A and B are shown apart, each in its own frame.
Chain A
């Protein structure tokens, strides 16, 4: 089974609208972390936001927030007031802390290509 599933290969959103990028995960590890990375057309990987499995509140970083629903095993990224510069690939990733104790290797989803329309 896929550990990280991103079901939206591509999305088109009008500028200034909010957008939700879906991510579901599968793990038996009770201790894990979920990440979102942005990859613009220039190719670099940019860390956006992190959510720990024991965190009580949803993570927020500026215009980014993570809608964490533990029972449903989903960790959707919400971008508020989208901008043209948000056009990029977005990857969800997971780190399983007990299974991989001592290192921080990540398992990535296949990504969602977001295009913001002016």
Chain B
């Protein structure tokens, strides 16, 4: 099992460019999450998907969109990147009833 995988690992964008961060899990988990991690801020939830076909906003959704393509995949899109979106992005997944979330390795995004 690969667990939770994220692509790309690193990305540099210019202001105004768009991109999609990909996340996939092979653990048959129902719930999937996108977080961003900024220095001194801990992890903050951007969007989550409690099950296939549903998505909901988290704490900091502005500037992002998500797609739960199927049970395995949950993508995060930046339509018009801004320097404030420079961060490390983590995807996570969890079974419907679970004690822990499983995290991917993260994507380091820089917007210049």
Contacts and interface: CB of A to CB of B under 8 A. Distances in A.
Contact of A45 (B40, B45, B90): B90
A104 interface: yes
Interface of A: 4, 9, 33, 35, 37, 43-45, 47, 50, 52, 91, 93, 102-111
A109 B105 contact: no
Given A43-B88, A43-B106, A44-B105, A108 B100 contact: no
B42 to A, nearest CB: 4
Interface of B: 31, 33, 35, 40-45, 48, 50, 56, 58-59, 88, 90, 92, 94, 98-103, 105-106
A91 B99 contact: no
Contact of B43 (A9, A33, A50, A91): A91
A59 to B, nearest CB: 10
A50 B94 CA distance: 14
A103 B88 contact: no
Prevailing SS type, chain B contact patch: strand
A43 B105 contact: yes
Nearest to B29: A104
A108 B42 contact: yes
Nearest to B105: A44
Contacts of A9: 40
Contacts of A47: 100-102
Nearest to B49: A103
Contacts of B33: 105-106
Contact of B45 (A4, A33, A105): A105
Contacts of A50: 99-100
Nearest to A51: B99
Nearest to B88: A43
B42 A91 contact: yes
Nearest to A39: B37
B50 A102 contact: yes
A109 B48 contact: no
A37 to B, nearest CB: 8
